Amino acid sequence: MAYRGSKIDPKKMGKDQVKILLLILPLVIFMALPIVYIINHAFKPMDELFAFPPTFFVRRPTLDNFTNLIKVSRNSGIPLSRYIFNSFVITLVTIGLSLVFTTLAAFSLSKLKYRGRNMLMQINQIAIMFVATAVSIPRYLIIAKLGLVDSYLAHILPLLSVPVALFLVKQFVDQVPQVLIEAAYIDGASDFHIYRKLIIPMIKPAIATAAILVFQQVWTNMETSNFYINDDSMKSLTFYMNSLTNANNTVAGQGIAAAATLIMFIPNLVLFILLQKNVMNTMAHSGIK
């Protein structure tokens, strides 16, 4: 580790960098092992899937698991493309609307002065502790009363609110200097103009983190397809993949399950890789006052 007063040059590999790398590298490898296993597992032939002792890396990669998955999906009556389309529409619309509501609420709770603001923030904090199962019945009653069963809105509305995302974004908005807000008011800017031209550009890392949180919640969600959707053509890709693997929960179906797991995992991995810098910045600033 560097002594007090010494500086680490990021462009050169010095002794201090080597010490840090030796300390962090084992942790990085350990955290990456599940990802490597999921990728290798999806390409294993049948004999390697059931080999004993189990093998970590694939020896003879094959695409049979993916071709079998496509064949089974063709025999289901509804094409796989329909479920992919449903999931993309649901995910994109939910992320877009959720980010708008989250950033607006964060700006309001952080910078605007009105009665009940602290109570609303406390309600959001309490909501973080609730799991989806605890509110499944009230959600179903609301969706049924609104007549939204078997519609895209039945997928979207229950997932718009993400209390953790609101908490993180609000903490980031708190870091915006109040003097900038006051200067904008003096120049005649409205609340919405300040939100759009000042707040949004300064909290882009937090928005990226919130996008990942919302994406993970929507992409892996099966509750809406289970409770609010009776029409199979309106269900999500996650629900279909889970149903497919359960229906083929046999020796021959393990390859299909491995391929389906990788397909569902890749979008999460790609999105996190693209936005990881913003995620780290948000985590670093969310607790700073």
Residue 213 lies in a domain: yes
Core vs surface per residue 72-107: b (16+ CB within 10 A) or e: bbeeeeeebebbeebbeebbebbbeebbeebbebbb
Amino acid identity at 21: L
pLDDT digits (tens, 9 = 90+) for 28-70: 888 888 888 888 888 888 888 888 787 888 888 888 888 888 8
Residue 25 lies in a domain: no
Share above pLDDT 70 across residues of the chain, in percent, rounded to a whole number: 87
Residue 267 lies in a domain: yes
Residue 72 lies in a domain: no
Residue 269 lies in a domain: yes
* CA 263/CA 241 separation, integer angstroms: 9
Residue 90 lies in a domain: yes
Look up tokens 């103009």; give the residue.
193
Q: What's this model's pTM, rounded to 2 decimal places?
A: 0.79
* CA 253/CA 239 separation, integer angstroms: 17
Q: From 69, 24, 88, select the one nearest 256 (Cα to Cα).
A: 69
Q: Which domain holds residue 277?
A: 82-285
* Maximum separation of any 2 CA atoms in the chain, in Å: 73
CB 253 within 8 A of CB 30: no
DSSP 176: S
- What CATH number did the domain enclosing 145 receive? 1.10.3720.10
What would the two tokens of residue 78 be? 């509804």
- pLDDT for the residue numbered 232: 85
DSSP per position, 120-159: HHHHHHHHHT--GGGGHHHHHHHHHHTT-TTSHHHHHGGG
* CA 99/CA 102 separation, integer angstroms: 5
Residue 201 lies in a domain: yes
CB 87 within 8 A of CB 236: yes
| pLDDT band (50, 70, 90) for residue 125 | confident
Angle between helices 15-42 and 254-285 (to 10 degrees): 150
Region 6-14: what's the mean pLDDT? Answer: 57
What would the two tokens of residue 168 be? 């993180």
| pLDDT band (50, 70, 90) for residue 2 | very low
CB 164 within 8 A of CB 213: yes
Residue 259 lies in a domain: yes
The count of structural domains within the chain is 1
CB 158 within 8 A of CB 224: yes
pLDDT digits (tens, 9 = 90+) for 108-124: 998 888 888 889 888 88
What would the two tokens of residue 83 be? 């479920």
